[in-house]
């Protein structure tokens, strides 16, 4: 009888630890795979003739006159690049993917590369 009570107490304690460990974890995003919640897409693709990425342009806080001059300059650069580049090069630019995640935010390695060990914590 004493063995069954001890076994039941041990089982109950293990079950409580298991349930409390599961409840302490934050819920993950539902229906999405990978990436932080709220971020559904990566960086924007490169557009021919764009001089600044959107985040740089936002931080510069351009005046309306500067924004107008920048738009004119981008239009001129785009027109000149259209003349310089071949049709194949333009197609290649359109098909290019944005760069991967920044350093330190590594995902799983590509299938053709073996697993690399994680760097030591003190680096």
Residue 108 burial by Cβ neighbours in a 10 Å radius (0-12, 13-18, 19+): exposed
Tokens of 38: 């709220």
Would you call 77 exposed, middle or buried from its count of C-beta atoms within 10 A (0-12, 13-18, 19+)?
Answer: middle
pLDDT digits (tens, 9 = 90+) for 31-44: 445 555 555 566 67
Question: For 8-17, 40-49, 91-100, which range has the lowest pLDDT when averaged over its residues?
Answer: 8-17
Residues 36, 79: Cα–Cα separation, whole Å: 38
CA angle 6, 9, 15 (to 5 degrees): 140
Residue 94 has pLDDT above 60, yes or no: yes
Model confidence over 101-114: pLDDT tens digits?
666 666 666 666 55
Q: Select the more confidently predicted residue: 15 or 88.
A: 88
- Report which of residues 84 and 122 the model is more confident about: 84
Q: Percent of the chain, pLDDT > 70?
A: 46
| Residue 54 pLDDT grade (very low, low, confident, very high; cuts 50, 70, 90) | confident
Between 8 and 67, where is the model more confident? Answer: 67
- Both tokens of 72, joined, read 């004119």
pLDDT value at 99 more than 80: no
Q: For residue 7, what are its two tokens? A: 């076994």
What's the rounded Cα separation, in Å, for the pair 60 and 69? 14
């Amino acid at each position: 009888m004493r063995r069954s009570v001890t076994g039941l107490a041990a089982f109950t304690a293990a079950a409580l630890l298991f349930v409390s460990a599961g409840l302490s974890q934050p819920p993950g995003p539902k229906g999405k795979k990978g990436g932080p919640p709220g971020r559904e897409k990566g960086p924007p693709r490169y557009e021919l003739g764009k001089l600044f990425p959107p985040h740089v342009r936002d931080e510069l806080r351009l005046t309306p006159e500067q924004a107008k001059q920048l738009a004119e300059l981008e239009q001129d650069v785009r027109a000149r690049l259209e003349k310089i580049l071949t049709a194949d090069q333009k197609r290649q630019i359109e098909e290019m993917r944005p760069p991967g995640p920044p350093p330190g935010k590594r995902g799983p390695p590509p299938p053709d590369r073996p697993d690399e060990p994680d760097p030591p914590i003190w680096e």
